[in-house]
Amino acid sequence: MSEQEKLVIALPKGRILEEVMPLVKACGIEPEAAFFDSKSRALKFATNHDHVEIVRVRSFDVATFVAFGAAQIGVCGGDVLLEFDYPEIYAPLDLGIGYCRICVAEPKDLSKDDDPSRWSHVRVATKYPNITSKYFAKRGVQAECIKLNGAMELAPNMGLCSRIVDLVSTGSTLKANGLVEVEQICEITSRLAVNRTALKTRSEEIKDLIEKFREAVNDVSS
C-alpha cells in the first residue's frame, strides 16, 4: 500500500495522550511497540491495521497536520482549534477528555481593587493571541498580546505585563504564582479533528472511524 493511501492519525504527545489512548484502543487500533517505548525517537508508527499509521506531534501541530491534510484525522484541545480556527478542519466529536478552561488572571493584589468591566486596554501574556484579541474585541477592549509558549504565570511577576490568558484546570499553577482568575473565557475539552477534504474523498473509512470514536466515548461515559 502506498503512503498516499494510508490513513494517518495525528496524536498529541503531551498530557492528552494518556487520556486518548484508551479511546484509540477501543476503536480497535493498536500502535506498534515502539510507540510505548519512551526511549524511541520515532515519530511515525505502524498499527495493527496495514492502512493506518499514527504520528505523534506537539498538541498545536496536530491541528496544522490535519488542516494541511498530512494527517486525515487527529486529536487536539479545543483551545488549539479555537486559536487556529482552520476552515479546513471539521471537529465533529467532543472526546470528553482534557477538561480545562481558558481564563484571564492577574496578581491577587491587583485584583483587590480591579474592575475588569472598566478596562479599555489590556496587555496580556498568552499562548493564545487570537482567542484573547477576539474575546476582548467583543467587549470593546483593546488587547495587546505578548506571545509566550509556556510559563505564562511568570509574566506578571516579572514585569512583562499585569495579566495573562491561559489554561486553568486545578488552579494550582495560578495559586503558586500569586495569581487569581478574574474572568473565564470558555471551557475546553479535546476533540476529534478531521480534514474536510479527506472526509469527502475518503468518506467511508473516515466516517467509520468517527463512529468508532463516538462509540468509545459513549462506552467510557456510560
Ligand X SMILES: O=P(O)(O)OC[C@H]1O[C@H](OP(=O)(O)OP(=O)(O)O)[C@H](O)[C@@H]1O
Ligand Y SMILES: Nc1ncnc2c1ncn2[C@@H]1O[C@H](COP(=O)(O)OP(=O)(O)OP(=O)(O)O)[C@@H](O)[C@H]1O
Chain residues in the site for ligand X (CB under 6 A):
150-151, 153, 166-173
Cβ–Cβ < 8 Å for 92, 194: yes
Q: For Cα atoms 1, 87, 145, give the angle at the middle one, nearest 5 degrees.
A: 120
98 binds ligand Y (CB under 6 A): yes
Residues 2-41 that bind ligand Y (CB under 6 A): 12, 14-16
Cβ–Cβ < 8 Å for 170, 181: no
Alpha helices in the chain (DSSP H): 16-26, 59-67, 78-84, 108-112, 129-138, 172-176, 196-201, 203-221
Residue 151 binds what, of ligand X, ligand Y, none (CB under 5 to 8 Å, by partner type)?
A: ligand X
Alpha helices in 45-148 (DSSP H): 59-67, 78-84, 108-112, 129-138
79 binds ligand Y (CB under 6 A): yes
Smallest separation, CB 10 to ligand X (Å): 18
Smallest separation, CB 152 to ligand Y (Å): 11
Residue 166 binds what, of ligand X, ligand Y, none (CB under 5 to 8 Å, by partner type)?
A: ligand X
Smallest separation, CB 100 to ligand X (Å): 7
Contact with ligand Y (CB under 6 A): which of 146, 160, 167, 199?
167
Residue 172 binds what, of ligand Y, ligand X, none (CB under 5 to 8 Å, by partner type)?
A: ligand X
Which residues, listed in sequence order, are joined to residue 100 by a DSSP beta bridge? 188
> How many CB atoms sit inside 10 A of residue 56's CB?
20
> How many CB atoms sit inside 10 A of residue 41's CB?
6
207 binds ligand Y (CB under 6 A): no
Residues near ligand Y (CB under 6 A): 12, 14-16, 58-59, 77, 79-80, 98-100, 150, 167, 169, 188, 190
